[in-house]
Chain A
Amino acid sequence: MAKAPQKMRDLPLTPLSKPSVASTGKTGSWRTFKPTIDLAKCTKCRICWVYCPEACVELDAQNVPRINYDYCKGCGVCAHECPMKIITMEREGGA
C-alpha cells in the first residue's frame, strides 16, 4: 500500500488512488447470499468471470472458475448470467 498522507501537501490535487488489495478489508463479510458453482456441469465459458463486478471470479490454468469468497459480496450477477444455470445462491449461515 502507498504511504498514507500526513499533511495536506502530501495529497494529490484531486483524489487519485493506486490499485491495492481491498483497502477496506475483506468485504466478503458483507455477503448475504453465497454463490456456489456446480463445477461438474461447468462448460468453462467464462461468462461469470467477465460479468463479476468485483472481479472475484478467478480462473485457474484450465479456465475453471473459482469464487474468491474473501471479497465476493454475493450480488448474484454471476448466477443470473450463467447460461448453464449452475450457480446457486444460498443464504449465508443456512438460515
Chain B
Amino acid sequence: MTQVIVETGNRVAGLACKAARVKVVAAYPITPQTTVVEQIAEDVEAGRLDAKYVRVESEHSAMAACIGAAVGGVRTFTASSAHGLALMHEMLHWASAARLPIVMAVVNRAMGPPWNIWADFSDSLSQRDTGWIQFYCADNQEIFDTTIQAYKLCEDKRVFMPAMVCFEGFILSHTSMPVKIPDQKEIDDFLPPYNPPWLLDVDNPVTHGSIVYPEWYMEFRYFMYEAMENARRLIPEIDREYGKRFGIDYGGHVEKYRCEDADLIILSMGTIGSEAKLAVENLRKQGRKVGAARIRVFRPFPKEEILNLAKNAQMLTVIDRQVSYGMEGPLHTEVKASLYSHEDSPLTAGFIAGLGGRDVTIHDIEMMVNKSFKSLQAGRVEKEVEWVGLRE
C-alpha cells in the first residue's frame, strides 16, 4: 500500500535504499550525510533491511567496499558529503571504469576552508569527470524517486555505470516534508533484483581490472562514453515509466516550468530551481515573460534540451551554486557549450550564488532576472560572471 510519510531528506534517501532492497551498505559518517547511514544501520540492526552494513575507517574504504560487493554481484549503496566525497575520488574512477552500478547519495556540502557544513555543489561538481551519472534533487520526494530510478538506470545492461543522487545539505537533508512511498510490491516490480554481468566466482576465477596496454585502453574508455550516451537516452524513458506506475515524473533531464512562451529562462539546479518557480510567478504578474528550467542531470549533460529551450528564449539566466576557479560557474560553461553550434543563440548571464549555504531567495532571483532583462535590452551582457549578494 502507498504510504504518505513526513520525513527528512536523509531519512528518505535511506528509505529508498531499503525499498531498493540493497544488499550491502558501506559508509563513513560525515555531516550533513550522517543520519542517512545512521538510520540505515538501525534498519539493518533491527532486521527491517536484509543487508550487510560494513563499517569502515574512511570514505575511500567505503567506496572500495562497495566496489568489492558490486563485483560480487549485489546491489550496493553508500552516502557521503564534501571532504568525504573528495577522499573517495580515486575509488570513484575505479567504480565507473569497472562498470559497477553503485548508487550513492551525495548530501551536498561546501568544501573548506573556511570550514562550512552547509550546502553548495562544490563537492559533487568537483567529481564531474569520474564517470558517475549525477542527479540533482529539489525536494524529498524527488530523492526517493530518483534513487529508485537511478538503480533502474545504472543496472541496465546498456549502461552499467554508477550514479550520485545529490541533494543539498540541511535545505533538504534535515528538513521534513511529506513523501509518498509506493507499495513495496510495485517497487519490486519496477526494480527487479540486480542481474550482474559477471560475478566473483571461485569455480570460474577471473581477474578484474587487469592491465591493458595502449593498443586496447581507449576502447574501454569508448565503452564508458557510449554507456553515458545510452544513459542520456534512457533517463527520460525510465522517468516516464516511473511516472506511469507511481504517478510522479520529472520531465526527464530538465524540469521545465512555464518555458513555452518565455523570453527569458532561469536555469538552475537543486532547490534553487523550486525557488525559481516562485520567482517566475511573481515576475509573470509584473508582465515579464519568464520561465524556469531545472537541470536534474548534470552528467550526462542535457545539451539537446538546452538547445530546445534556446529556440524561443532570447535570454538564459544561469544560476550556479558553485564556481570553477579561473573560469565561471560550471553550469554556465556547460550551457554555453551546448549552445555553441546553434545559430542565433540567446544571450546568457551567469550568476554565482548561495555558496556555503547562503540563502538564495525569490528576491535574489528576481534581481538576477531584472539585471538579465537590462542586458537583453542593451543587446549585450556587461558582466559575464556576477556574484550575487557579496557584502561589499
Contacts and interface: CB of A to CB of B under 8 A. Distances in A.
A17 B212 CA distance: 10
A5 B216 contact: yes
Given A16-B198, A19-B205, A11 B220 contact: yes
Interface residues of B, number: 19
Interface residues of A, number: 11
B86 interface: no
Interface string B82-100: 0000000000000001110
Given A5-B216, A11-B216, A17 B222 contact: no
A94 interface: no
B223 interface: yes
Interface string B186-205: 00000000000110000001
Interface in A17-72: 17-19
B98 A14 contact: yes
A15 interface: yes
Contact of A13 (B197, B207, B209): B197
Interface string A1-13: 0000100100111
A17 B207 CA distance: 5
A49 B222 CA distance: 42
B153 to A, nearest CB: 16
Contacts of B211: 15
B222 A15 contact: no
B54 interface: no
B208 A13 contact: no
B301 interface: no
B160 interface: yes
Contact of B97 (A12, A14, A16, A17): A14
Contacts, number: 40
B343 interface: no
B337 interface: no
Contacts of B223: 11, 13-14
A8 B222 contact: yes
Nearest to B157: A13
Contacts of B99: 13-14
Contacts of B212: 15
Interface in B296-333: none
A57 B212 CA distance: 28
B71 to A, nearest CB: 10
B165 to A, nearest CB: 23
Nearest to B97: A14
A14 B99 CA distance: 7
Contact of B219 (A11, A17, A18): A11
A13 B219 CA distance: 9
Nearest to A18: B206
A5 B223 CA distance: 15
Contacts of A11: 216, 219-220, 223
B210 interface: yes
A13 B211 CA distance: 14
A17 to B, nearest CB: 5
Nearest to A20: B207
B268 to A, nearest CB: 35
A63 B209 CA distance: 34
B220 to A, nearest CB: 7
Name the residue among A5, A16, A18 with the largest chain B CB count within 10 angstroms: A16
Contact of A15 (B197, B205, B210): B210
A17 B213 CA distance: 13
A51 B345 CA distance: 66
16 contacts: A5-B216, A11-B220, A13-B220, A13-B223, A14-B98, A14-B99, A14-B208, A14-B220, A14-B223, A15-B210, A16-B198, A17-B207, A17-B210, A18-B205, A18-B206, A19-B207
Given A13-B197, A19-B206, 12 more contacts: A8-B222, A11-B223, A13-B99, A13-B220, A14-B97, A15-B212, A16-B198, A16-B206, A16-B207, A16-B210, A18-B206, A18-B207
